[in-house]
Structures are given as structure tokens and as C-alpha cells.
Amino acid sequence: MTFQKSLWFDPTMLFIGGEWRKPGNTDTIAVENPSTGEVIARIGRGTPADIDAAVAAAEAALEGDWGRTPAVERGRILMRMQQLVLQRAEELAFLESTDVGKPMKQARNDSVALARYLEFYAGAADKVHGTTIPYQEGFTVYTLREPHGVTAHIIPWNYPMQILGRSVSAALAMGNACVLKPAEDASLSSLAFAAIAAEAGLPAGALNVVTGLGSEVGQALAEHPGVHHLSFTGSVATGRRIQEAAARNVVPVTLELGGKSPHIVFDDVDLDAALPTLVGACMQAAGQTCSAASRVLVQRGIYDEVRRRMAEVYSTLEVGPAPDNRDLGPLVSKRQKQIVSSYIELGRQDLTVAAQGTIRGDAPAGGNYVAPTLFADVPPDHRLAQEEIFGPVQVLIPFGDEAEAIRIANGTEYGLVAGVWTRDGARQMRLARKLNVGQVFINNYGAGGGIELPFGGTGKSGHGREKGFEALYGFSRVKTVTASHG
């Protein structure tokens, strides 16, 4: 059976107003399997007119059944979606693994995470309350939490199921109607999710999925005057365009734009416990993780030991096709392979390669494989220590004392996540306060993990918070009602 025949929906169709519709453009976009380079399916190339239709369908849903659905019922619908995701977890994982090149064991985590987002926000849907506010004699004042209305969700290709899960489930829980634009390199799981939503009885128009090019449908969605809130995850360059579009329409925007996140390893670390995470927190999804721990800052007293032991771990890392479940799969696209490879070449010009993993000999020649690479003694201002590479590349940076560690850690344009590795409790608390990031992990590191944990960045990593309860505040607005009753 071909991959295409294994799909239980037609990937060339768009999901608008509860129906599968042909896009306005008869062109389609090829879906490549990153493990082999083969074209395995085609998706529809939506048009700005399809975005108009999707936004109109979302508006109609808010005026119709979806807008009248009480919070508790929204939660029940999300819970039915969760059940269907769990029933189809293996199929969804296979879809994602084939589409983006993730080893199956990692793609299975993504199915489970999608289900977990639905579960979390299903339970939370009827637990976001307004407040009453003491005011002048003869008045009663209370606040209402209301949905924004039509929310746009533009997501990238690295964790499609997780990112649509965190964004769309929270928006639906609060009663918004969503238009989802997945990345052209990874649209299949979003279409599968639409099929699941329909099966679960989500009212028509509450979720619409339009596939196509970012420059066409992505831009049209971001600029659409009918959209009341934009949620974007991806690159800084595109994020800037999204915020410009949001500014023109004066609508709120949540941006999650990646990072250059550090592990900060002090010489009192429990290195045996830390070591797998020091490497693993960058290698999952082959380094294509916004919160990848791509910088490893190490105190000089243990620098040589950390370098040697990380190199040992690297020497065991294997890269291979997604179905083979090696440590790393291929990168998502030829373009991404080219970007990451050129960073590795740049590093080779003046840096020391401390270790590399191995691409398996039987990996298909057409796949986008890159060997994980560890650079040693990297100056903090080097391009490889400053720029997001979005691949399996880590840089080791030595530091002397705590003040220098903080200076280096905060010394990039980004600020998403940091890992602090020390047994000194007071130092843990000091660093947690001084690091300019949205999440601090102490003696652990959860790249991509923690549905319950508010997540988002500072600086060029973006602004706004998704995940956890915070997302529900972001996907709603407060109305204050002041009643005079004498």
C-alpha cells in the first residue's frame, strides 16, 4: 500500500466550515519524505480566497452553534477529540514521522502530547472565571472572560501536532473559532486533526484548516481584517511580518520564535545524572526544536571532563531513516539540511570539532541526513554561539564564575529557555531570577515538554505565553461590567 492510500482523508482538500473543499488553485504542493527524498503525497495549495472563506466560516460559527456552545460542552467536545487522537495515536505518529522525518518513538510522543493538550484544555474550559470587584456604594462590578473571536494559528514544521495542540486546543476551550495554517513541509497531521474534529462533533467552522504557501495563504491570513488574534510559531523574519500585519489591524499577537538556549553547568553538578540530558535536550527532533539546548556553558573546573564525556555520548549517536528509530532522523527538508550544513562548515573554519555522531551507512542517499556535531571552546560572540542553527549542533563555551555565566547566557538576542545545573540551592534561586528567559529548568531540561507549564520567550524569542493556564488568558479578553443599582 502506498503512503497516500494509508491516509484516511484527502490531503489535497481544505477543511472549511465543517466540509472538505477543493482549494481555489488547482496546483498542488508535493509532500516529500525526508528519510528518502521521495514524493509521497500532494497537498492543496490554498489561495487568499480560501482564507476569506475560512475566516467567514469561523465568523459564522461564532454567530451560530459554536458561539452558543457552553464552556462545559466545549470541554466535552475537546475530550472526544482527545479520545479519537488516542485511538489513532499510532496512525498519527506514522503520518508525522513520514512527513517530517522524526523517528517513530519521538513521533509517538507527539501524538500523546496532542492528546494531553486536548485533555488539559478540555478540563480547563469551564474553569476560567471572571471576578467581582468591590467598587462604590450602589454598584456591582464584575468581569467577563470572552473569546477574541476568530483566531489565526500559523504553525511550523518541527512539532506540528504539539504546536497545533497547544494553540488550537486552548483557543477552542475559550470559545474562539480557529483558522489553522500549517507549514507547507508538514501539513498532513493538521488535516488529520481536522478529520478528527469533525468526527468528534466540533461544530462547523470552529476549526478551519487551509494548507498552502506561507507567502500566499499565511500572509493573507495574517493580514485578514476578520482575524482578531494571531498566534505564530516559527522564524524571527516571518514573526516580524506577522507582527507588522497585526499592527496594521491592531490585533494582539503571540510570537514564539525560537532561541539559543543554554545549559549552564557548574562544577558541583551531578554529571552522571546530567549527561544524557546535556546532549539529548538538543538532539530530539534532530535539533529542530525552538527550545533546543544548543549552547553548553561549562565552568572551567569541569570543562575538560564535560567535553570528554559529551564527546563519548556523541560517538554513540546514530542518524537514520525515521522508521529505524535511531537517535536522530533526517532534517525536515533539503533546505534545512543545507542551512545546518553551512553552519557546520562555517564552524569548521575556525573552531574545533570535539565530536560527531554517525550517519548510518544504509541511510538512503536522497534523505536529509546531518551528523550531530559538537564544537569546543567556542567564543560567546561567535556566530555559532549566537545564531539559531535549528539542527543537531551544540557549542561548548567555558566560563569562570557565576557572573560570567549569567553574562554569557543572557548575551544573545534570544531568551526562551535555560537549564541550570548545580547542587547549590541559593545559586539556583539567583540564576532563576537573573536569566532573561521564559522558562528555567533546574537540574533538568524539558525541551518541548510540560503541557501544564507556561511557555514563551523574551527578546527575539517572542512574547506572549502558550501552554498551561496562561494560554487561556492569552486566548481571551476581559470585559468589565459596572452596574449601578442604587
* Smallest separation (angstroms) from ligand NAP to the CB of 411: 19
Q: Distance (Å, rounded) from C-alpha 371 to C-alpha 373?
A: 6
* Smallest separation (angstroms) from ligand NAP to the CB of 292: 9
CB 171 within 8 A of CB 231: yes
Does the protein bind ligand NAP through residue 338 (CB under 6 A)? Answer: no
Which option in ligand NAP, Mg ion, none does residue 121 bind, with CB closer than 5 to 8 A by kind? none
Does the protein bind ligand NAP through residue 388 (CB under 6 A)? Answer: yes
Nearest to 98 by CA among 153, 26, 53, 36: 36
Specify the residue, 110 or 466, whose C-beta has the smaller distance to Mg ion: 110
CB 141 within 8 A of CB 131: no
Helices vs. strands in the chain: H and E counts, helices first: 17, 22
Question: Which residues inside 177-216 make contact with ligand NAP, applying CB under 6 A?
Answer: 181, 183-185, 213-215
Binding mask 156-175 for ligand NAP (x = CB under 6 A): xxx-----------------
Question: Which residues inside 209-248 make contact with ligand NAP, applying CB under 6 A?
Answer: 213-215, 218-219, 222, 233-235, 238, 241-242
Query: Catalytic one among 59, 223, 256, 388?
Result: 256
The H or E element spanning position 316 is helix 300-316
Specify the residue, 156 or 392, whose C-beta has the smaller distance to ligand NAP: 156
The only residue of 16, 62, 85, 154 in contact with ligand NAP, by rule CB under 6 A: 154
The residues that touch Mg ion, with contacts defined as CB under 5 A, are: 99, 185
- Cα-based distances in Å from 105 to 101, 232, 323, 379: 11, 27, 9, 35
Which option in ligand NAP, Mg ion, none does residue 174 bind, with CB closer than 5 to 8 A by kind? none
Query: Catalytic one among 32, 119, 282, 290?
Result: 290
* Smallest separation (angstroms) from ligand NAP to the CB of 194: 16
CA 463 to chain centre: 14
Helices (H), 88-205: 89-100, 104-124, 160-173, 188-199
Active site residue 290: yes
CB 204 within 8 A of CB 17: yes
Specify the residue, 256 or 327, whose C-beta has the smaller distance to ligand NAP: 256
Does the protein bind ligand NAP through residue 346 (CB under 6 A)? Answer: no
| Cell digits of residue 191 | 488535516
Q: Distance (Å, rounded) from C-alpha 233 to C-alpha 239?
A: 8
* Smallest separation (angstroms) from ligand NAP to the CB of 177: 19
Coil, helix or strand at residue 20:
strand
Specify the residue, 222 or 384, whose C-beta has the smaller distance to ligand NAP: 222
Specify the residue, 376 or 418, whose C-beta has the smaller distance to ligand NAP: 418
Q: Distance (Å, rounded) from C-alpha 349 to C-alpha 338?
A: 17
Cβ neighbours of 293 (radius 10 Å):
27
The only residue of 256, 417, 437, 459 in contact with ligand NAP, by rule CB under 6 A: 256
* Smallest separation (angstroms) from ligand NAP to the CB of 184: 3
Does the protein bind ligand NAP through residue 390 (CB under 6 A)? Answer: yes
Does the protein bind ligand NAP through residue 89 (CB under 6 A)? Answer: no
Does the protein bind ligand NAP through residue 438 (CB under 6 A)? Answer: no
Residue 229: Cβ-neighbour burial (10 angstroms; 0-12, 13-18, 19+): buried
* Smallest separation (angstroms) from ligand NAP to the CB of 181: 6
CA 20 to chain centre: 26
Specify the residue, 185 or 216, whose C-beta has the smaller distance to Mg ion: 185
Spatial strand order in the sheet of 177-181: 19-21, 14-16, 207-209, 177-181, 150-154, 229-233, 253-256, 462-463
* Catalytic residue list: 256, 290
Q: Which residues bind ligand NAP (CB under 6 A)?
A: 154-158, 181, 183-185, 213-215, 218-219, 222, 233-235, 238, 241-242, 256-258, 290, 339, 388, 390
